[in-house]
Amino acid sequence: MMEHALVLLLLLGPMAAGADWFVDARRGDDQTGDGSPTRPWRTLTRALEAAPRPGPPAWTDLWIASGRHDPALGERFPLRLPPRTALHGAGADYTVISGGATVLLEGVSGAVPAEPDPRVRVEGLAFVDGAIGISVDGTYATPPLVEARRCLFLRNQTGIACVRASARVEECEFREQNQGVAFMVLEEGRPAPAVRRSLFDGGVFGVTARNVRGLEIEGCRFQRFGSAVLLEALGAFGEIRNRVAGCVLTANEVGVRAQAVLGGALSVSVLHDTLWRNDVGIVSLVSAATGASGKLEVVNTVVWESRVADLYGVEGGAVRHCIFRTQTASPNPAPIGLSGNRSLDPGLQDPEGGDFHLTPGSPALDAGTALSEGVPARDLDGEPRAVGYPDIGADEWGRFLRAEGAARPGGIVRLRLWSPRDPFLPYVLGLSLAGPPGAGWGDRRLPIVPDALFARSLVPGFLLDRPLGLLDEGGEARADLRLPACPELAGTTLHAAFATLAPGAPGFLQTLSNGLPLPIER
């Protein structure tokens, strides 16, 4: 009996293991190749047909060398990608898939009825001159979840199209597309889609979503579109919630357009965005006559130099801590001077040249609020956003805490404090094992809860060599964190934060840093 069981395990073992296969358009051969590194296949068509499918949870990974994959090479489009398949290109500048006005890549829906992991993944590829770069349709079967990373979509009608399906898009570029990413209907229970840290340049629509729940657009840049972001609720699908956060939108006809008609219910949050020199910055259209309802929240956002209007049809009560100048067709205009709103030049570095960082004298500095859900943790440069009073717009100007070195019992971690707006101000640097949600006054809250460890850190020589000090002329200081050789600390997380102190600030806290978690190695 044991021998039979061993034979069965040996037979099933390879099916559960992942597999790596290789494709090379220049030196591969579909007739004599076997998909190995030394004898790669020539076409993706052959690789997807010939590569064995391992059983779950293993993946099939196709590694694609530099080259152009098009019909002249022998590719047959659309390329069909089953769940748990990943395409790894040599980089979007080197590995190109070009189909000639057709669908280039199609996620296969329902290939395995009880598929435990429906994801497909593409990275380091260019999708060029197709009708659709990547298409997924889950209308009649459970679709895969597309994960696209560091890909280029160039001169397609649509870069990524998802119908009743989801996608997670990160660090991609969409250039000269009719539509960059298009989502159509996503019911509850499906993974929420996200588009993050991607560039959209030129076309009619950047990202469109109709009746799509949970869409998050974060850290992206949109320029030269008809409507950069178009969010819609149509019909009785329940409340649709979307978020646009930390984005830069410039030189578009419309930056963000949110509309609900025919009984649709739409809730959109626009947080920490910078919109500059669009025809219209933000548009809200709700057809109450057809039973539609909508809520558009605009918080910590710069909308400036719009040619027609910064805000169009936006309910003023939902606009807080924003910098804007003009508003049109609003039944209740947002008050300038109240709710943190102001009408002052935001002091952008060089918007004409594409630099939307804040300058040292910008009225956006420390003028935002942290009392809003969904605030992005990082700014347009990937730097942590300050707590307490963050800056308005997509950029966070300085003041953050970083660590150099690994945290381990008995070791030393060097902390870098940076708050360039606060030169020569005293700082207090504290530690905590409790971490978030923090303590403070109103929205001026330190992101850690002071505890016994925090109090002890204020005693010179215990844990921190400089828990109190002065920032230098550049608004910078360094402190060494000396962890005691306590085995009990291993596996815990130490939280650090600092605040600069000024007599006239609320609670004497001038600027508060991000909270820095330091996992302590075992």
378 DSSP β-pair partners = 384
Q: How far apart are CA 433 and CA 486, in angstroms?
A: 14
Q: How far is CA 20 from CA 17, 103, 267, 353, 430, in A?
A: 10, 25, 44, 44, 48
Residue 424 CB: number of other CB atoms within 10 A? 10
Q: Which of 118-132, 367-381, 434-448, 457-471 shows the lowest mean pLDDT across its residues?
A: 434-448
Mean pLDDT of the region 420-440: 79
- Give pLDDT, residue 437: 65
pLDDT digits (tens, 9 = 90+) for 332-356: 888 888 899 999 999 999 999 999 9
Per-residue pLDDT at 442 exceeds 70: no
pLDDT digits (tens, 9 = 90+) for 3-43: 433 332 233 333 345 689 999 999 999 999 999 999 999 99
Q: Which domains does the chain have, with CATH numbers?
A: 19-191 (2.160.20), 200-396 (no CATH), 400-519 (2.60.40.10)
Q: How far apart are CA 131 and CA 98, in angstroms?
A: 10
Percentage of the chain beyond pLDDT 90 is 53
Per-residue pLDDT at 114 exceeds 60: no
- Residue 5, helix vs strand vs coil: helix
170 DSSP β-pair partners = 149, 196
Q: How far apart are CA 511 and CA 522, in angstroms?
A: 34
Identify the H or E element spanning 7: helix 2-16
Q: How far apart are CA 20 and CA 455, in angstroms?
A: 53
Mean pLDDT of the region 213-225: 97
Q: What confidence tier does 386 reach under pLDDT thresholds 50, 70, 90?
A: low
Per-residue pLDDT at 289 exceeds 60: yes
User: 340-358: string of b/e by CB count within 10 Å (b at 16+)?
Assistant: bbbeeebbbeebeeeebbb
Rg (CA), the chain: 26
- Give pLDDT, residue 183: 96
Q: Which residue has the higher pLDDT, 377 or 279?
A: 279
CB of 93 closer than 8 Å to CB of 122: no
Q: How far is CA 511 from the centre of its chain?
A: 26
Identify the H or E element spanning 121: strand 119-123
Residue in this structure with the two tokens 């850290």, named with its chain if needed: 219
Q: How far apart are CA 286 and CA 187, in angstroms?
A: 22
